[in-house]
Structure 1
Amino acid sequence: MRIEDYPRFTIIMRGYTFQQAEAILNAIEGLETKFAVEITLNTPDSLNQLTLLTKKYGNSIYIGAGTVRSIDDVKAAIQAGAKFLLGPHMFTQDMINFAKEHEVLSVPAAMTPSEIDEMFKRGADIVKVFPAIVLSPRFFRDVQAPLGKLPLMGVGGITVNNAKDFLSNGASYLGLGSGMFDKEDLVRLDSKNLSKSMRKLISSVKGASV
């Protein structure tokens, strides 16, 4: 997978049932270039979900693993078909190297300029700034003033109401979790309304510079 092909938005699927995850993937139809999805490894039966959903949807949708915390997680996720790996903290060199050997994007997390710099030095493809809402949109602009333009993903507290602010301040990518959808739409497996939520997000960031 090439970083150039990675979509602007990542939907974080944490704790969803297989049926809910599939409803979200069905809702992405027509928006495949805008959204990737990550199945967090602390979701029940996550690796089985990842395997099954990748086999069915992996040719058209970028599906990866989230909450990747160790080299064992990296190996298991890649074995299950993950195209990218997101973590809640920094990755070791071994984790990044193994991902590169298998042409899988690595997206470790960082919270300080030093951590961000270190992750790119180790070879990270994208660095996830987490929790983004604690740091604020301005952090993305300020940290890139000395470090230069970097592929940063804002995750943690991102909503349809603040997504444009983060993108306008220099975030290249955003990850959205529980606030992305109406809970009732997930309960009802309403792919039509789930798709409307995605389109609402896309409309909300029109005009944002990247």
Structure 2
Amino acid sequence: MLEKASNFPKVTVILRGYTYDQCRCVVRQLIGSKLNAVEVAMNTPGAAETIAKLVQEFGSEVHIGAGTVTTAERARTASAAGAEFMLSPINFTEEIFEIAREAGAITVPAAFTPTEVMKMFDMGADIVKIFPAACATPRFFSDIQAPLDRMPLMAVGGVNGNNVQEYFDAGAEFAGIGSGIFDKEDIRALNESALAEQIKAFENRVRW
């Protein structure tokens, strides 16, 4: 658990509902930046094909994974596409864990209570995603780790460039951020220069 988590990027960019070309445009801008992980949500049309193409072209430079892995079927599809990691807004089942383990993928199921967090780690999670983090608040991360010790937790849901450091300061090791980094219209318009500026602006808000 800790070994995989220690090598995982601090921030993961969440892409949901975008075409392959739009995703590719974002990933191109991430090369060489501190934002070097992307998850493509599995409820995006053509998600598996997008993941596979991104892995083939950028897999050596950017970590490419699958988000919204809520079923074993989605886990198998993500595995076949070459996803390096799998995230979900809910708990993983044993079957999903097994599929991910066989694929060598890092597992990031979600939880919202201390009991759910420990259950996911006990079942083999590498990182546990607290979702929605904005409802839990940054304090949740420090409060839960006081009695349960340090754990690799990821803040997702309502996290953006203005508040992400609060989560890190409270004990979150990772964050997943979608619209909190980029202007959606710039992604849709393939506006590379604007996306590059937004990456730099975000990087400057975080103590890496």
Pick the TM interval, shorter chain: over 0.9
Aligned match for 2:24, one of 19, 22, 41: 22
1:25-104 matches, cutoff 5 A: 25-31=27-33, 34-104=35-105
What are the Cα deviations for residues 42-101 of structure 1, in whole angstroms up to 9, with x where unaligned? 101111111111111111110000000111111110101100000010001221122122
Q: Structure 1: which 5+ residue stretches go unaligned?
A: none
Contact 2:69 2:75 in 1 (8 A): yes
2:203 matched residue in structure 1: 202
**TM-score, reference length from structure 1:** 0.94
1:147 matched residue in structure 2: 148
Paired with 1:167 and 1:158, the residues of 2 have a C-alpha distance of 11
Paired with 1:7 and 1:191, the residues of 2 have a C-alpha distance of 22
What are the Cα deviations for residues 130-149 of structure 1, in whole angstroms up to 9, with x where unaligned? 00001100000001101110
Using the aligned pairs only, state the percent identity: 40
Q: Does 1:113 align with 2:114?
A: yes
Q: Structure 2: which 5+ residue stretches go unaligned?
A: none
Paired with 1:167 and 1:74, the residues of 2 have a C-alpha distance of 29
Paired with 2:42 and 2:23, the residues of 1 have a C-alpha distance of 14
The alpha carbon displacement at 1:35 in A equals 2.6
Would you say how many aligned residue pairs link Structure 1 and Structure 2?
206
Paired with 1:114 and 1:12, the residues of 2 have a C-alpha distance of 26
Judge which range, 4-13 or 147-156, deviates more: 4-13
Aligned match for 2:13, one of 5, 11, 20: 11
1:180-191 matches, cutoff 5 A: 180-191=181-192
What are the Cα deviations for residues 94-123 of structure 1, in whole angstroms up to 9, with x where unaligned? 211221222110100000000000000000
- Secondary structure in structure 2 of the residue aligned to 1:198: helix
Contact 2:79 2:99 in 1 (8 A): no
Taking structure 1 as reference, are residues 182 and 34 closer, same or farther at Cα in structure 2, changes over 3 Å only? closer
Paired with 2:22 and 2:155, the residues of 1 have a C-alpha distance of 24
Give the alignment's Cα RMSD to 1 decimal: 1.4
Letter in 2 for 1:135: A
Contact 2:18 2:188 in 1 (8 A): no
Letter in 1 for 2:78: A
Letter in 2 for 1:157: G
Paired with 2:77 and 2:100, the residues of 1 have a C-alpha distance of 11
